[in-house]
Structure 1
Amino acid sequence: MLCGVGRAAGQVEWLAVLLLGALLVQDSARVGAERAAERRNPVLGTDTFPRHRAELINPGILGEYREDAELSATAYVEYMELRHHILDEGDHTFEIPPEPKGEMRHDQQIKVAQWELERAEFVARGATDRFATVDPSSRIRYESIYRLHVEPEFAKRAVKAIKPSDISTFQTELGERVGPSTVATARLVVVGVLDLAVADDAIKKNPARSKIVQTVSSDSGEKIQAWSDERVFSLIDGHPDSLRAMPTIGATCGLREGELFGVAEEDIDFDEGVIHVRRQLKKLGKDHVFALPKNDRTRIVPMSDWTAQNIRVHIAKYKPQPLTLPWEKPTGKPQTHKVLFRWLDGDHMKPRAYSETVWKPALVAAGVIPEPTKDKRGRRRYVTTRKEGTHQLRHCYASVMLADGVNVRELAEYLGHADPEFTLKIYAHMLPDSHDRARRAIDARMFRPRAVSDGTWTERR
């Protein structure tokens, strides 16, 4: 999180406090006051608080207790007693002890630490509840954004000291180093943490929601340009035969990369001419899982005869085999599906491996990006941007649909967008020129042939 309330002897970092509080919750069942009093140093004891855990503690608060075993034990016992008392009473309203004029005494320091740790447990439980419904992959991204961008800027600052101008400066400076999507996510994390601080009465107002702090859009503002048919066909041809149907489905049905990795034989309805998009295969840290498509929206997508024929040929040559992965999270219930696309050794598709060994070489073959260079270790290095990602297949699909008169609401459904307005925002510039349609509509309605007195015909009324 951001930062707790600092005191004279040193400032307890908000994130460290949350982590330490969580550790205390886990250890409290087996660590009682009697055992703590018997240990030489319960703050640094190897079986209760290993040294790597002690590193979470700000040395300015508890560092000097390392040389005083008796006082550390006493302080720890007092803390445990206070903790159990407060939890039993159900009271989570804490007063900060007054700051002494001179150097803070040991007992005052430990009381500040007690207050911070108790408050941290309360906040940590609230944070756990808050993110309980967050998609696991989103949670991983939020944690990464916090660690890389938010923590270095705010982790050592008191919550009450953060001003709207600080948030505004943070967003501006971050935007000079990273893309708009990262800035938008970082702002989302900051706003969420400060909202939690407001709910917990740590601050009265969220400075990130001030009118002077601009909201951040993840949209770069650049109009999407769909690839030509020739480029798409070249990209498809650049894929190995066992995976060639994958970009074909992507370009003709608009599936996302993870959905292509997870589409299974049972999802293809040749009789109705549709594909049921029911899952995606996605990476969570080091693990891979099956999960609902983005926005938790399953959908049905029309399948052209040409696409269906390509899929039939693929299934005949590369018979789908059952793949079992957990559902939604690494500990989720296993599900088994006969996915269409696997590596030849039987392993499931992995985003990075596909990108480096299939997609990017196909981009080179299609003339989209230059040949790769090699680093000092002899590894190939491709030069790409987000404009050359697999999402281009969806953009191709959208451009074809709009050009042939499919309306935005239908396209949003086929693409799996939660809101047609989002679809319109992205693809409005791809809509056919309406001038000719407007002229034809007026001509068809207002100008009709009729006979005149001289026996000729006119299109004027």
Structure 2
Amino acid sequence: MTWVVRWRDPGGSQRKKAFTRLVEAKRFAAAVEADMARGQYVDASNPITVVDYARQWAASRPHRPTTARRTAGLIENHIASTRLGRRRLTELKPSEVQGWASDRATVLAPATVRSLVGLLRSVYGAAVLDRIVPSSPVVRISLPRVDRPRVVPLTVVEVRALAEAMPARYRAMVITQAGLGLRIGELLALRVDDVDFLRRTVRIEYQFTSGSKVRSEPKTPRSRRTIPAPRVVLQSLAEHLAAHPAGADGTVFTTTAGTPLGHMYYGHQLFRRAVAAAGLPAGTTSHDLRHHFASLLLAAGESIIAVAERLGHEDASLILSTYGHLMPDSEDRTRRAVDAAWDDGAFSCAPDVPHGLRSPFSH
């Protein structure tokens, strides 16, 4: 005998499911009724696949163009092309997610695997809110450890050598990026109006995203900032503008045709050639000029909060995790702080204790 449970889902559609045992039918009916009452009902027969829902999720997100392209690339290359992507969203198990993550770890860097799993976690988080699945299978996933190499910042001598190795028209770009800690997109979008020679500041208002020469908002709200401009930067900018006037739209750094530079031209052609000519490590990129800037501030005793503000970082803790080993040694400050508190004459030492080893608790 077959027992059939019939019910209407929250959308009003008629549903049914057959069972060979009455006890199972009753148990299922009670579970459906309870889920409906709690507002947690999900349709287990929903045919949507993981990749189809991931695409819908990505399309609905307010991503910046660069983030949207990166997200789409992860979905198409590492979800759509795998068995996991073809699975129904409601059927995926944690063990399948773990197998998928382990497989991706064989072809991707550890940090990228973490980003990929984080993306899938967000997709399933949205699916839970949409009541397509009752819970997320992206739980307790073992991931490869990310070993971040310590930052070895460029020295002033190396930055000077790098600037000298650049074509004369673009030398000020190296000095400006190193002296203000700019992202490459912020450097390329810099306008004359952003530079206040009188107040000695540079205002970051825009950036060029990769592949675009249209100004857009900076990476994050904190990326819009005013940076104190050091003398070396202002002098370099003044000399540059005297020799190479700004573009028609006020862009400071332009090609010989007067148009803004692109990421690829500056970062992959000009910069790489200069790195080789200056004898710097082959992996050196324009981002290393931001590391140089941060390391100089930390060496001078600037707080991590101030460094984060200058760099336009949302989270000051990233400064500590990235550059903590470059901060001035605090051992002597620790000793002085404790000695100053104890060296107030409140304690006397027993005469039989050798000098230098006296106990502060001996009277």
Please indicate, yes or no, whether the TM-score normalized by the shorter chain is above 0.5: yes
1:291 counterpart letter in structure 2: S
**Quick one: distance in 1 between partners of 2:54 and 2:79?**
18
* Residue number in structure 1 paired with 2:203: 276
The match for 1:247 among 170, 174, 190 is 174
Q: In structure 1, the residue corresponding to 2:210 is in which secondary structure?
A: strand
1:339 aligns with 2:251: yes
Q: In structure 2, the residue corresponding to 1:301 is in which secondary structure?
A: strand
Cα 1:233–1:92 change in 2 (3 A) is: farther
Q: In structure 2, the residue corresponding to 1:283 is in which secondary structure?
A: coil
**Quick one: distance in 1 between partners of 2:81 and 2:16?**
28
Shift of 1:269: 1.0
Q: Give the TM-score of the pair, scaled to structure 2.
A: 0.76
The match for 2:238 among 312, 316, 333 is 312
Cα 1:200–1:92 change in 2 (3 A) is: farther
Shift of 1:189: 2.3
1:179 counterpart letter in structure 2: A
Q: How does 1:173-252 map to 2 (within 5 A)?
A: 173-208=103-138, 210=139, 212-214=140-142, 220-252=147-179
Q: How does 1:33-48 map to 2 (within 5 A)?
A: none
Q: Deviations over 1:103-128 (max 9, x none)?
A: xxxxxxxxxxxx869x99x9799737
* Residue number in structure 2 paired with 1:142: 71
1:364 aligns with 2:276: yes
Shift of 1:179: 1.9
* Residue number in structure 2 paired with 1:260: 187
Q: How does 1:380-399 map to 2 (within 5 A)?
A: 384-385=282-283, 388-399=284-295
1:160 aligns with 2:83: no
**Quick one: distance in 2 between partners of 1:396 and 1:234?**
14
**Quick one: distance in 1 between partners of 2:161 and 2:301?**
26
Cα 1:130–1:357 change in 2 (3 A) is: closer
**Quick one: distance in 2 between partners of 1:183 and 1:93?**
41
1:150 counterpart letter in structure 2: I
Q: Deviations over 1:202-248 (max 9, x none)?
A: 2211111x2x224788x642221112222221111111111111111
2:66 counterpart letter in structure 1: S
> Runs of 5+ in structure 2 lacking a partner?
1-9, 19-45, 346-363
**Quick one: distance in 2 between partners of 1:205 and 1:440?**
55
Cα 1:306–1:194 change in 2 (3 A) is: same
Cα 1:311–1:95 change in 2 (3 A) is: farther
**Quick one: distance in 2 between partners of 1:237 and 1:173?**
46
Q: Deviations over 1:165-210 (max 9, x none)?
A: 22222223322322233223212321222223223332211111x2
Give the aligned length: 308
Shift of 1:250: 1.2
Q: Are the aligned partners of 2:206 and 2:216 in contact in 1 as well (CA < 8 Å)?
A: yes
> Runs of 5+ in structure 1 lacking a partner?
1-90, 100-114, 324-337, 370-383, 450-461
The match for 2:300 among 391, 404, 414 is 404
1:421 counterpart letter in structure 2: S
Q: Are the aligned partners of 1:254 and 1:394 in contact in 2 as well (CA < 8 Å)?
A: yes
**Quick one: distance in 2 between partners of 1:215 and 1:247?**
38
Q: Are the aligned partners of 1:253 and 1:301 in contact in 2 as well (CA < 8 Å)?
A: yes
Q: Give the TM-score of the pair, scaled to structure 1.
A: 0.60
1:174 counterpart letter in structure 2: R
Cα 1:424–1:124 change in 2 (3 A) is: closer
**Quick one: distance in 1 between partners of 2:196 and 2:231?**
12
Cα 1:364–1:125 change in 2 (3 A) is: closer
The match for 1:413 among 296, 300, 309 is 309
**Quick one: distance in 2 between partners of 1:96 and 1:339?**
63
1:411 counterpart letter in structure 2: V
Cα 1:94–1:190 change in 2 (3 A) is: farther
- CA RMSD, 1 decimal: 3.2
Q: In structure 1, the residue corresponding to 2:227 is in which secondary structure?
A: strand
**Quick one: distance in 1 between partners of 2:265 and 2:67?**
21
Q: Are the aligned partners of 1:142 and 1:185 in contact in 2 as well (CA < 8 Å)?
A: no
**Quick one: distance in 1 between partners of 2:137 and 2:58?**
23
1:399 counterpart letter in structure 2: S
Q: Are the aligned partners of 1:283 and 1:289 in contact in 2 as well (CA < 8 Å)?
A: no
